[in-house]
A and B are shown apart, each in its own frame.
Chain A
Amino acid sequence: GQNIDQPTEMTATEGAIVQINCTYQTSGFNGLFWYQQHAGEAPTFLSYNVLDGLEEKGRFSSFLSRSKGYSYLLLKELQMKDSASYLCAFYFYTDKLIFGTGTRLQVFP
């Protein structure tokens, strides 16, 4: 099976930077997604990493290191609306998406 771990909860201040980690003990995946999910809503796509390294998209960046078995999502210039759950998910050759445990981020003024 796959062990995909994320911190359960994180808090941060508006305007700050926060890094959400995703550590895993799985292999054979095509790539890694990060999704944002507000309570009661479907996940929305943030980023997709295939190769090791950093992918930057505006205020959001995602990093993958296959050799070290971890990824992180970096959120800059935090806004109140960034309060949500953040999910890493692994995309396998079988078309499956296997999600991590999810991190609930709360941004305070």
Chain B
Amino acid sequence: GAVVSQHPSWVICKSGTSVKIECRSLDFQATTMFWYRQFPKQSLMLMATSNEGSKATYEQGVEKDKFLINHASLTLSTLTVTSAHPEDSSFYICSARDAVEVYEQYFGPGTRLTVT
């Protein structure tokens, strides 16, 4: 089956620094990837849609200058949390859309970000 990886699986950073999270589709090409954020005991909230070779589309209320998304290849999307603050501490999950079974998204294992 399709596999999506994320790196790192967890990260601790100091307030004011930036953190980059990678999302890779390992055995398929993903023209579209999605980034979600999940706070404890809450559901997944879509942050942005990332299309290869073009600018990401952000959901309402998500600051595009704070959450920088780059989708430079068909297998890699990155999310950079800039000037991180403790309230950015969350579980960040990416997913990749299968080009064949277009309705299905494959989720990465998630990245736990803690900002101190």
B85 within 8 A of A: no
B112 and A99 contacting across the interface, CB-CB below 8 Å: no
- Could you tell me the dominant secondary structure of chain A's interface residues? strand
A109 within 8 A of B: no
- Could you tell me the dominant secondary structure of chain B's interface residues? strand
B67-116: which residues lie under 8 A (CB-CB) from chain A?
91, 93, 95, 97, 102-105, 107-110, 112
B91 and A43 contacting across the interface, CB-CB below 8 Å: no
B19 within 8 A of A: no
| Bound: A42/B95 CA distance, A | 9
A 54-97 to B, binary, CB cutoff 8 A, 1 in contact else 0: 00000000000000000000000000000000010101001111
B107 and A100 contacting across the interface, CB-CB below 8 Å: no
A48 and B112 contacting across the interface, CB-CB below 8 Å: no
With a cutoff of 8 Å between Cβ atoms, the chain A residues found around residue B46 in the complex are 96-99
A26 within 8 A of B: no
Partner of B105, one of A94, A97, A102: A97
Q: A45-B104, A48-B103, A95-B97 are in contact. Are A40 and B45 (CB under 8 A)?
A: no
A-side residues, CB < 8 A to B, are 30-31, 40-45, 48, 87, 89, 91, 94-102, 104
